[in-house]
Amino acid sequence: MKIVYFASLRRQLGIAEEVVAPPPDIETVRQLLAWLGDRSQTHLQALAGQSRLMVAINQDYAGLESRVAAGDEIAFFPPVTGG
Amino acid sequence: MAEGSVRLWVGSEDFDPGAELDRLAAGDQTIGALASFIGLVRGAADHVTAMTLEHYPGMTEKQIASLIATARQKWRLDRVTVLHRVGRLLPGDRIVFVGVAARHRGDALAACEFLIDWLKTRAPFWKLEEGPDGEHWVAARNEDEEKARLWEKR
């Protein structure tokens, strides 16, 4: 599973992407976030510190209860500000 | 609207609005209306000295293509162009171009406004501003989200 980060979140974490292999009982975005936070204090602070964390699965917007699977590309980012 | 009538581009180079408008109407005399929106980097009053735009390659194009498909369902459109720049830009620089060609102005104007309103809240771009106090990430504005949501009621 590939996880990508953008904007302020990428800067806070110091990485743009990482490949992770969460255990099979991690089935939702919410569980994945908790798992990432348990593994690293930096992740916990950066992810929990977002007032409105956005998530995309395979480049489509998703929610905290959306299902995640091994081959997915999961993106976390702050609210978008283009245009 | 045929497949080839959508032009979608994300990159660092500037674009030529006049040439883009000409292109939207070229060779199709059934087109009676062109509507466009151009977004610029706002400088002086906001004390911004530069702005760097980043995006999520792939998702950006996917989301904008999806917005264009939605606009095509809502209005009768002939051609749509959406161009968005990324990288470091200076006050006055063009950021975004949305152009819509249709038979009639009502469709062109409404679709153009719809596209820029939704692009602002759905396309994964982020702005990092530089000013006298250093760098800061532009915060999403609630008004933008509310403005986009209004389209769901129309």
Instruction: Render each residue's pLDDT in chain B as its tens digit; 154 residues.
Output: 555 699 999 999 999 999 999 999 999 999 999 999 999 999 877 788 999 999 999 999 999 999 999 999 999 999 999 999 999 999 999 999 999 999 999 999 999 999 999 999 999 999 999 988 899 999 888 888 888 888 887 7
Domain topology for B3-153: Aldehyde Oxidoreductase; domain 3 (3.90.1170)
Nearest residue to B131 (alpha-carbon basis) of B54, B52, B47, B53: B47
Exposed, middle or buried by CB within 10 Å (0-12, 13-18, 19+), for B18? exposed
| A80 and B CB contact within 8 Å | yes
From chain B, the residues in CB contact with A78 under 8 A are 126, 137, 140
Provide the residue ranges of all domains of chain B, joining segments of one domain with +. 3-153
Q: Are B8 and B65 in contact (CB under 8 A)?
A: yes
Number of domains in chain A: 1
| B146 and A CB contact within 8 Å | no
Write down the pTM of the prediction: 0.93
Chain A's closest residue to B118, CA to CA, is A83
Chain A's closest residue to B113, CA to CA, is A83
Query: B38 - beta bridge partners?
Result: B97
Backbone angles phi, psi at A19, to 5 degrees: -105, 125
Task: Please give the DSSP secondary-structure letter assigned to residue A67.
Answer: B
Residue A57 lies inside a defined structural domain of this protein: yes
H/E run at residue A5: strand A2-5
Residue A50 lies inside a defined structural domain of this protein: yes
The shortest C-alpha distance from B126 to chain A (Å) reads 5
Structural domain range at position A70: 2-77
What ipTM score was computed for the predicted complex, to two decimals? Answer: 0.94
Direct distance between the N- and C-terminal alpha carbons of chain B, in angstroms, rounded to an integer: 22
Within 65-94 of B, beta carbons closer than 8 Å to A belong to: 84
Residue A83 lies inside a defined structural domain of this protein: no
